[in-house]
Structure 1
Amino acid sequence: MTTRSRRTPRNPPPEVAPRTPAEPSSWRDYRHDLLPPLLSSALKSFTGHGYHGTTIRQLAEGAGLSVPGLYHHYPSKHALLVAIMSHAMNDLWDRSNAAIAEAGDSVALQFHHLVECLVLFHASRRDLAFIAFSEIRSLNPDAREHHIAARDRQQRLLDAIVDRGVRDGVFTSEDPHLLSTAVITMCTGVSQWFQPEGAQSPAQLAEKYCLIAGRAAGTTTTSVEPLRSHQP
């Protein structure tokens, strides 16, 4: 869900999702789906048929509404897509900041927590993350600029941690920019292949990705606790 861009939005998006941030202490907890039911139904349709392959009538039927009833809540199919993508970026942002805050002042633990958070999100909310990545092309210009700005803001969280880690000698990477981009790409790609019924749980996968990312960063500390003990 994150690649770099220098563009900034001219205007706020025409439609935004209702904000339902996760509790600061529950950034690892995915037992409850925070996506409102109407958006959850639309997400299922977009995942199964693609945005352009889904009709308003299918969206209404999936939500148990008439077409006029659907329009009462959202004025267009595009409005539903914007709301879904906005929810994805808000949820990931809230969880990421909670993960970093829980790590305290340790840059190594901040890095570890943020990588864990990214993997858990893209494995546990894979359909949401996949649509937020793949359907950027379907957004109108204003909504696209707003989404890209939110995506860049998310990227900068890891950039800042990596830069500080290199500056403080915690990481030995010779190219912090490349490291940050590579780690983000590795973590966000999880939504494209992860299967819940597979051999690894999201927590197990996050643990392995943290080890891989730490080795790529050339971390000089080994004082990071194992992940699985923290899972709800």
Structure 2
Amino acid sequence: MARRSVAVRPDPATTRDWREFGPLELTPILEAALEVFHQNGFHGATVRDIARRVGQTVPSLYYHHENKEGVFTALLELGTGEVAWRVRAAAGAAPERPDLQFVNVVEAIVLHMAHRPTLAALDGELRHLSPVNRRRYAARRKEVENVLRDIVETGTRQGIFTPKDPVETARALLGMCQSISRWYQPDGALDPDRLARRYVDIALMTVGLARRPGKRAPRRKPH
């Protein structure tokens, strides 16, 4: 029975800061596969090309991954796992402050999209996944959406945010951030930090805050 190699996942217990991004750690197979998928898309990528780039035979690659979809799924799991722990850490850095949690989480998502654009761009190829793998991936993505949704809902209940529909607002903001991978160029005019600041400002206006929150929590408006 074929064995599957696993992408090296960042460990939140040993990573110093959710804002820090080191080199992406991949097995040689996944590193080659990421290049092939990025250049040719899922449909145009071949296991033979991946194996050739990593200096292996096709049968030896199948020893680690069941098929092309297995390689692709491993990359998706790496990406979703990384952004999920960063979002959880960002929210956990500001307990009891939904306004600061909101800023942190939006920043964490944007930084991930900007620092890992090639990995994040694989999201556009989800239609090629089998139903089982698509559901599993959707569940991992839902973790990030749930964190942002809960923050927006909590901030709205406390009178900090003012969206009419907190759930749809959170979903729209997440979609806005995820679209970055479709156009962002690492060598362009905006570095990841500047991009994150701009998107945080847009996100704050979307939930009804005209400026970034300070250290003291805003008072709830009287009704």
Contact 1:17/1:86 (8 A) holds in 2 = no
CA shift in 2, pair 1:149/1:202, >3 Å: same
Higher alpha-carbon deviation: 94-103 or 216-225: 216-225
Q: Which residue in the other structure is 1:33 paired with? A: 24
Residues 29-82 of structure 1 show CA distances to partners (whole Å, capped at 9, x for unaligned) of 112213333212101100101111111110101112121221121121111011
Deviation at 1:128, TM superposition (A): 0.7
1:24-173 alignment runs, 5 A limit: 24=13, 25-131=16-122, 133-173=123-163
Q: Which residue in the other structure is 2:221 paired with? A: none
Query: Which has more radius of gyration?
Result: 2
Task: Give the Cα separation in 1 of the matches to 2:126 and 2:146.
Answer: 19
Structure 1 unmatched ranges of 5 or more: 1-13, 226-232
Contact 1:27/1:95 (8 A) holds in 2 = yes
Q: CA RMSD in A?
A: 1.9
Higher alpha-carbon deviation: 113-122 or 22-31: 22-31
Larger relative contact order, structure 1 or 2 (CA cutoff 8 Å, min sep 6): 1
Task: Please state whether the residue corresponding to 2:42 is helix, strand or coil.
Answer: coil
Task: Give the Cα separation in 2 of the matches to 1:110 and 1:121.
Answer: 16
Deviation at 1:175, TM superposition (A): 1.8
Structure 2 unmatched ranges of 5 or more: 216-223
What is the letter of the counterpart of residue 67 of structure 1? V
Among the aligned pairs, what percent are the same residue?
34
Task: Please state whether the residue corresponding to 2:133 is helix, strand or coil.
Answer: helix
Task: Give the Cα separation in 1 of the matches to 2:4 and 2:44.
Answer: 21
TM-score normalised to structure 2 length: 0.88
TM-score normalised to structure 1 length: 0.85
Task: Give the Cα separation in 2 of the matches to 1:19 and 1:168.
Answer: 40
Deviation at 1:153, TM superposition (A): 2.1
Query: Would you identify which runs of 4 or more consecutive aligned residues in structure 1 move more than 6 Å?
Result: none
Task: Give the Cα separation in 1 of the matches to 2:121 and 2:53.
Answer: 20
Contact 1:170/1:220 (8 A) holds in 2 = no
